[in-house]
Amino acid sequence: MYSVANNKSNTLPDIIAADLHAKKVLSRRDFINQHTVSSPVIFHGVGVHSGKAVCMIVHPAAVDHGIIFERTDIEDQPNRIRANWQMVSTTNMCTTIINASGISVATVEHIIAALYGTGITNALITIDGPEVPIMDGCSEEFCKGILETTTVRQSKRRHTLKISTTIRVENENGWAQLSPYDKNLFSVKFTPTDRYEDLTQEQFQQFSYNEDDFTTLISRARTFGFYEDAQKLWAAGLAKGASLDNTVVIHKGAVMNEDGLRYSDELVRHKLLDAIGDMALAEYVLIGHYEACNPGHTLNYQLLKKYFDTITTS
């Protein structure tokens, strides 16, 4: 659930114009400049791993602020964490970022993907718990909330980074790479294993930041997993907030959710959503081609680390 705060008096000195749309995607030329939200957007939900209720608010922020989380339930220690790949602490089942004082926020990938997909580059995100609410398992509610308010175009261009060399990482499940390209392009292939049984067809999806609509192509694709894995996680006291309301659950090759899949290739689209959220932790629009087969949060983090380590030492 989300709501938009009635805060018409909230202005920023660097805002030069308000976009006129409410529920529409930014025009392509608007992606040249930095953007923020004009009013706080409030999200209520539960953490998929903790199962605890959480309130998260996306606030307007000034040019070059970037995306920063603030843990409002922490008062006696530094409670802000920058959404940057260097802040990543763990990538097991989700992406978690942490500051130098050990204060963390987990499952940041869906809200970061929503901000990236709707053009928001600057925001302060206050949150009263250690985990971003899972909502319905994707970025759709975040996108709706962000676009419900008026987004504002700011006076400075977005930060871009042109990929000049090919970097690749691999593990036992798949691979991911960045390579030179004249636009921002994500391409993901998903190859189901024998565990998927009926869902055996290879899936492929692309997203271009310059040309495609994230809100319709990617944002509605939900996280997914296996019923038997969920049973083990629950027994171990994990995934307490996971349910058929926020996860596509596969059991004996069949989708357990009553309404089935939202897209015939929803699984690869969610892999793409996660990749967009993880790669946005570069804090740049990457001008290049992200390409992957069966990527996960660990591969995405390793790819960013390897790329920045390479360009730093070259």
179-200 pLDDT, tens digit per residue, is 999 999 999 999 877 666 666 6
pLDDT of 15 reads 34
pLDDT one-digit tens code per residue, 89-124: 999 989 999 999 999 999 999 999 999 999 999 999
Q: What pLDDT, on a 0 to 100 scale, did the predictor assign at position 312?
A: 78
Residue 43 dihedral angles phi and psi, to the nearest 5° = -125, 130
Average pLDDT over the chain, rounded to an integer? 88
Instruction: Calculate what percentage of the chain has a pLDDT beyond 90.
Output: 71
Average pLDDT over residues 194-215: 82
Residue type, 24: K
Instruction: Tell me what pLDDT residue 198 has.
Output: 62
- pLDDT for res 189: 96
- What's the rounded Cα separation, in Å, for the pair 98 and 133? 17
For residue 137, pLDDT over 90 is answered with yes
Pairing of strands 285-293, 184-190: parallel
* Domains contained in the chain, CATH given: 2-157 (3.30.230.20), 160-313 (3.30.1700.10)
pLDDT at 39: 96
Residue 63: the pLDDT is 98
Greater confidence (245 vs 23) lies with: 245
pLDDT grade for 11, boundaries at 50, 70 and 90 = very low
Is the pLDDT at 20 greater than 50, yes or no? no
Cβ contact 225:267 at 8 Å: no
Task: Say if residues 296 and 173 touch (Cβ distance below 8 Å).
Answer: yes
Average pLDDT over residues 261-276: 96
CA atoms within 13 A on the CB side of 31: 23
Most confident of 23-37, 91-105, 300-314: 91-105
Structure-block tokens of residue 213: 């609509």
Name the active-site residue from 35, 49, 59, 297: 297
Q: How far apart are CA 149 and CA 146, in angstroms?
A: 6
Mean pLDDT of 246-263: 90
Number of C-beta neighbours around residue 190 at 10 A: 23
Instruction: Judge whether 122 and 35 are in contact, CB under 8 Å.
Output: yes
Name the pairing type of β-strands 67-71 and 285-293. Answer: unpaired
Q: Is the pLDDT of residue 147 over 80?
A: yes
pLDDT tens across 39-77, in order? 999 999 999 888 889 999 999 999 999 999 999 999 999
297 as an active site residue: the answer is yes
- pLDDT on residue 241: 84
Q: What is the DSSP string of the chain?
A: -EEE---TT---TTEEEE-S-SSSPPPGGGGGEEEEESS-EEEEEE-TTT--EEEEEEEE--TT--EEEEETT--SS--EEE-SGGGEEE-SSS-EEE-TTS-EEB--HHHHHHHHHTT---EEEEESSSB---TTSSSHHHHHHHHHSPEEEEEEEPPEEE--S-EEEE-SS-EEEEE--SSEEEEEEE---GGGTT--S-EEEEEETTT--HHHHTTTPPPEEEHHHHHHHHHTT--TT--TTT-EEEETTEE-STT--SSTTHHHHHHHHHHHHHHGGGSSEEEEEEEEES--HHHHHHHHHHHHHHHHH-
pLDDT interval class at 4 (50, 70, 90): low
- What's residue 210's pLDDT? 82
